[in-house]
Structure 1
């Protein structure tokens, strides 16, 4: 039996599995880790906020953060983690370097694509051409009723002006590949529709090339009645399916902070 006074003063050690607040219980969270945590947090926030893009009003109004900010913030976070992993001796410094490089590259592309999207929306307003942003890609949807006459691959003269604007934009923003895809409805034979859709895509490509767009950036495909966007059982649905789509995709490695910005 222990003396009463000793028993009151004695505190048994914590057993395994119980929580302890001593410094030894947190061997990984030391002062050496603080620069890494600070770098990851600060650089991810700064990369997302540094580019106040006046062109990306649509993206900001819909989601509260522009695509540029999202690309930059995510790029900085990934770069910070990678940089810290590489530089074991100075994780904070490695995180800062990795975040700066990756964040700048991601935000550089985002800013370029945001401006291109905004310019295309401005130029195509009121023409009937729909502009969609799909991640890194930009898609233009040209309804068949404004681009071609029925069962014809000859571009309607009324559509020359919108195509001229597109050609000027493609020459100004030249860091994209341009895929032109023709579609038809399901009326008629499949072979005829496949051929017609290919000829329509080639007509658009030929017109753009004649306006000075680099032909090496262009490719064409005819999809015929495949991949309809509406039902072919109604006249309105068939009209929607008769279309030409232009897909703009970034040239790998072409965008970045050193990219010369288009002049206005």
Structure 2
């Protein structure tokens, strides 16, 4: 519930869909499933390739955060592929902690920074 409230605080830039993750987790939440179902529907209607960019907060070492951001983007790609979006239509990248939505000090957990952004390319 808290995660859903926090997600409502943040308006995604136009053309960007965001999926958020709890700290230390890579599971897709029920709220995120509903969001990803909309991405699947949009893909089916438009067939536009997708860019999935993973991000992390600054709560761990930068190398681990980069790996985590890539892993989360891959998990979103796996979900979309399971719903029929071709892997060839998705580009996956991880940016770690280099592009936060909320600027924080090193070591701070921030849910809005632990996200995967999905854009049509």
TM-score by length of 1: 0.39
| Residues 1:141 and 2:34 aligned together | no
- Bigger relative CO (Cα 8 Å, ≥ 6 apart): 2
Q: What RMSD in Å do the two structures reach over aligned CA positions?
A: 2.5
Superposed CA deviations along residues 51-73 of structure 1, whole A, max 9, x for unmatched, are: xxxxxxxxxxxxxxxxxxxxxxx
Q: Unaligned regions of 5+ residues in structure 2, if any? A: 1-6
Secondary structure of 1:229 counterpart: coil
Contact 1:230 1:237 in 2 (8 A): no
Q: Unaligned regions of 5+ residues in structure 1, if any? A: 1-126, 250-264
Q: Which one has a larger percent strand, Structure 1 or Structure 2?
A: 2
Superposed CA deviations along residues 123-168 of structure 1, whole A, max 9, x for unmatched, are: xxxx7484433xxxx22233x2xxx232111212332222112211
How far off its partner does 1:245 sit?
Answer: 0.7
Q: 1:158 to 1:228 in 2, by over 3 A?
A: closer
Secondary structure of 1:132 counterpart: coil
Aligned to 2:97: 225
Task: Say which one has the larger Rg.
Answer: 1
Off by >6 Å, runs of 4+ in structure 1: none
Secondary structure of 1:247 counterpart: strand
How far off its partner does 1:231 sit?
Answer: 1.4
Q: 1:156 to 1:186 in 2, by over 3 A?
A: same
Kindly tell me the number of residue pairs found equivalent between the two proteins. 114
Secondary structure of 1:206 counterpart: helix
Aligned to 2:80: 208
Aligned to 2:13: 132
How far off its partner does 1:200 sit?
Answer: 0.4
Q: 1:216-255 residue pairs with structure 2 within 5 A?
A: 216-233=88-105, 238-249=110-121
TM-score by length of 2: 0.79
Q: 1:1-264 residue pairs with structure 2 within 5 A?
A: 128=8, 130-133=11-14, 138-142=15-19, 144=20, 148-174=21-47, 176-233=48-105, 238-249=110-121
- Rounded to whole Å, the distance in 1 between the matches of 2:92 and 2:104 is 24
- Rounded to whole Å, the distance in 1 between the matches of 2:46 and 2:83 is 15
